[in-house]
Amino acid sequence: MCRIAGFWDFNYKRDYNLKEVALQMRETLTHGGPDDAGLYLEPTNGLALTHRRLAIIDLSPAGHQPMKFENLVISYNGEVYNFKEIREELIKEGYSFFSNSDTEVILKAFYRWGFDAVHRFRGMFAFAIWDKRSYKLILCRDRIGIKPLYWYFRDGLFMFASELKAFHKHPKFKKELNELALCLFLQYGYICSPYTIFKDTYKLEPGHFLVIDQKGQIEKMKYWDVEEFFKKGVEEKEKWLKRSEEELTGELENLLTESFKLRLVSDVPVGMFLSGGIDSSTVSVLLTKEGIKLKTFTIGFYEKDYNEAEYAKKIAQYLGTDHTEFYCTPKEAFEVIPKLPEIYDEPFGDSSAIPTYLVSKLAKTQVKVSLSADGGDEQFCGYARYWIVGEIIRKLSSIPMLSALAKILDLVSPEIAFNLYKIFKPFLPKWKNFRDKYIKLRNVLMHRRDIKTLYDLSNKFFLEDDLKSLGLDNLSPSQLNLLKWDSSDVLSFMMYYDFKTYLPDDILVKVDRATMSVALEGREPFLDHKIVEWTSSLPYEFKYRNGKSKYLVREILYKYIPKELVERPKMGFGVPIYEWFKSDLKSMYLDYLDSDKIKKDGIFNYVEVNRILRDYLSDRGVNHNKLWLLFVFQLWKEKWL
């Protein structure tokens, strides 16, 4: 696991020190690779590849990068867990090896099989390969998007890096706010691929190559897409349904066990993030039954509604893991919040980044690698919103005259509706966030038969009306524009939506940045592509049944631990932001969302921001997530703009 960065300046005229700039870019990533550093330069071509190393496999100097073989040079971040199998295949073909690293295997596999080599790799990876013979720079990102890879191209300067912060060290980087990306952030709480917060700067999409040649021509090539397996599952649904539950459960258990064990490949100690939920318990259980002694780590909260630590402790005690827990207070959260812009580089609104950082910091005191259990919800229908939205769609489809009601509501602005509500409030239920709920109701009724739009709406914080109120007119993009598959299978579509957007651009970003900020490698055992291909094809009837999510996974888990240890409502990895900011951290909102600051920036309508803040503080009803997102953006802007 490492961090990479580099550039190819097509207009390089020795107008700056190539080596000095490359080293400055590299050193911004030291936190993610404190064990070693490397540099490859071609000054005549204006080219630089850099590397910071976190030594996990082959701790010797033989694993140093950038690594060269024949006409190829590689700078690589990640782990290819099956590298020994590929190595044996290459040895049979006459290749020899000087190291025990997966880096050398990737490099020689690419030399032998070219782009097709990637289909042999099982793991998480992002790499850049410079081909000195063809004068092409090749970028590649893993299938799921576990490891990050950013790129920038403007005025003849092409750059790539594991984190955006490296780009700021290049004197030709022009950082301009991408307002389209800002709208995406306000809507979803994160910025979906391929966009980033800066213009001319992009995330390489999961499952893609990017190739730039000596003429500056860029070509992107997709080598894998989960969409293919969702489609296949719908087409072959009847075949799946004919198979016995016992057969499928056994097949899934074997697949999970093999993948989980593969994630233990390491020359350093490996731990596990344990929440006490279905997914992390399943990873812990299946590894423990294989005779593996785990170190497990949990973050807890004193606020009972958010605390999962007590459940994790029971699982740890039952399995006999070496368990460590840490309870987070507002004080600890307060100390993390100012670090978020430095860790995440662009606005990132998932408040669970705070405990993720803290549990990573905790694990780092004892191990250098930690397993996580992300991806289980997206694969096995784990989010409550899946069946809630599905039920809403079913009910709305059966109610007549809703089109007429939607048209009436469309004629009544949220402000007029709120004034009417205040008049009749004594006779009506007490609704908080009336304005938000009114707008969502209107939109839901208008699109009640459109699965894609309804689910998209359910994931948004700021809607189109809200963006306009903030002064971001004509900028209301949707993640739906990035999704091609249109399915009448409601649950399958929602899982597909999250797998293409929320998982790679929120969940995996959160874990990667938090772990690497403390030089801890985070691994995702549920996200082996062999598991993903199988589960994406699996009909939802085996994922959600009789009101229970993760049906087959539960059947496996209950073979090894008592049901009562994990049978509880899903909590998620939430943070009591609302409770904290109403008291301990209130001053930060008042500081960063000050009207004079907002007005001076000229990005948002300061009157609207002040209204949201005022309504929140006076308990007049506002979605506190909106305020959190505005605050996070202002915090980021102060650091990077």
Q: How far apart are CA 23 and CA 46, in angstroms?
A: 14
Q: Which two tokens stand for residue 601?
A: 């920036």
Identify any residues that bridge with 521 across adjacent strands, giving them in sequence order. Answer: 369
Rounded to whole angstroms, what are the CA distances from 445 to 414, 435, 441, 482, 572? 15, 16, 6, 24, 29
Rounded to whole angstroms, what are the CA distances from 150 to 117, 140, 491, 503, 557? 22, 11, 32, 17, 38
Q: How far apart are CA 112 and CA 443, in angstroms?
A: 54
First to last CA, the chain: 30
Spacing of C-alpha 331 from chain mean position:
26
Neighbours of 223 (CB within 10 A): 14
Spacing of C-alpha 283 from chain mean position:
20
Q: Which two tokens stand for residue 21?
A: 């700039």
SS (H, E, C) 62-89: HHCCCEEECCEEEEEEEEECCHHHHHHH
Identify any residues that bridge with 301 across adjacent strands, giving them in sequence order. Answer: 328
3-class state of residue 1 by DSSP:
coil
- Return the DSSP state at 593: T
Q: How far apart are CA 397 and CA 239, in angstroms?
A: 29
3-class state of residue 200 by DSSP:
coil
Half-sphere CA count of 400, side-chain side, radius 13 A = 0
**Nearest Cα residue to 378 out of 236, 488, 527:** 527
Strand ranges inside 588-633, DSSP E: none
Neighbours of 219 (CB within 10 A): 10
Asked about 140 being catalytic, the answer comes back as no
Q: Which two tokens stand for residue 388?
A: 């809630």
3-class state of residue 474 by DSSP:
coil
Strand ranges inside 185-313, DSSP E: 201-203, 208-213, 218-222, 270-273, 295-301
* Type of residue at 491: L
**Nearest Cα residue to 252 out of 614, 550, 569, 571:** 550
The DSSP-derived string for 420-441 is HHHHHGGGS---SSHHHHHHHH
* Type of residue at 478: S
Strand order in the sheet with 295-301: 322-328, 295-301, 270-273, 369-371, 521-523
From the candidates 2, 140, 183, 328, which is the catalytic residue? 2
Q: How far apart are CA 139 and CA 119, in angstroms?
A: 15
Residue with tokens 């605050």: 631
Q: How far apart are CA 519 and CA 54, in angstroms?
A: 7
Strand order in the sheet with 208-213: 67-69, 72-80, 123-131, 136-141, 208-213, 218-222
Question: Among all residues, which ones are annotated catalytic?
Answer: 2
